[in-house]
Amino acid sequence: MFEALSKFRGERGFSGAALKLAAQAATSAVGNVTSARAAIDAAMATFPAGIPDIDNADIRYALAEAQNVYQDLKVLRGRVDASLTMAVSDRPAGLDQEVLSFGSKALKTFDDTSVLLESRIRTLDQVLSGLIQVRTYAWNSRNNGGTASVSISGALSEKRALTDEERSFVNSYDAVTKSSWAAVGGLIKHESTSPSLKAMYAQGQSAYFKGSFAARREKLVKGLLAGPSTVFDIDDWQTTSNNALGNLAAVATYAMMNSTLRRRTLRTPPPSRPLQCQASFW
């Protein structure tokens, strides 16, 4: 479920961008859409076939809702693909905004389902709490960073400055992104955190919050306050920002996969004792 959630942000963003571009200019965005769709389809194919037989009513309902949204997504994909064969001027008006609004609904459904499943996992093994917290905060960073990027994409694709509302929106979501990532950093400092997870956190810090991307992004946002910017074109921005944000999502995915692995290999409930006294589990 979480894999579908993490990849869907990419499909949503790249689809919206591609719909605003002529076919030749949208090649990279369409390629990224295709890649994201394949990952989502593979993740959704692992859903349990016997959803009606699941005992927990809340989980049964959430999984069914996620499946319904996925079916709606496949219908919308067909409309997007048909539109991309047309000249930009002939495409259905407002379809790009429909992709974004439907995407918000789908993201909420997938996220709610993922959180519900994680809550159930946590009741089975308290040791998983640390991993789940890392997953939650890291994904919040990726999610909010992606939301800010969507506003920037709108200005870039239309070759204009950010509106006052968009500027406020970007600043707000940037602040939440940094706050959530700081929370990940606090959790990562725990003595039981594995070297692999620490390395992934450091990579995310370098890829998104520091280094060349962060410098270019800052210059871009400042430039967009006054007018169109040439720091990124829309295609470069979509690809580069998505790759940088992917390093934040990778931390969330790693934590989620390891919590799932621990749950599957767990044979007996762990002894009840304070988190700081437990053996390494990250």
Q: Which fold has domain 126-272?
A: Four Helix Bundle (Hemerythrin (Met), subunit A) (1.20.120)
Domains of the chain by residue range: 1-124, 126-272
Note the pLDDT of residue 280. Answer: 32
Note the pLDDT of residue 262. Answer: 58
Note the pLDDT of residue 281. Answer: 31
Which of these ranges, 42-51, 55-64, 78-87, has the smallest mean pLDDT?
Answer: 42-51
User: What average pLDDT does the structure give for the chain?
Assistant: 84
Q: Do the beta carbons of residue 132 and residue 275 sit within 8 Å?
A: no
What is the Cα 239 distance to its own chain's centre? 14
Q: Residue range 204-233: average pLDDT?
A: 94
* Cα–Cα dist 135/141, whole Å: 10
Give the model confidence (pLDDT) of 95-117 as tens digits.
Answer: 998 998 998 899 889 888 877 87
Phi and psi at residue 50, to the nearest 5°? -100, 50
- Taking CA atoms, 9 is separated from 123, 185, 280, in Å, by 29, 23, 32
pLDDT grade, residue 199 (50/70/90)?
very high
Token pair, residue 265, equals 């290999």
* Cα–Cα dist 12/215, whole Å: 25
Whether 277 shows a pLDDT value over 70: the answer reads no
How much of the chain exceeds pLDDT 90, in percent? Answer: 41
Which of these ranges, 98-112, 217-231, 249-263, has the smallest mean pLDDT?
Answer: 249-263
Between 220 and 11, the higher pLDDT residue? 220
Give the model confidence (pLDDT) of 17-34 as tens digits.
Answer: 889 888 888 888 888 899
Token pair, residue 194, equals 């594995």
Note the pLDDT of residue 267. Answer: 43
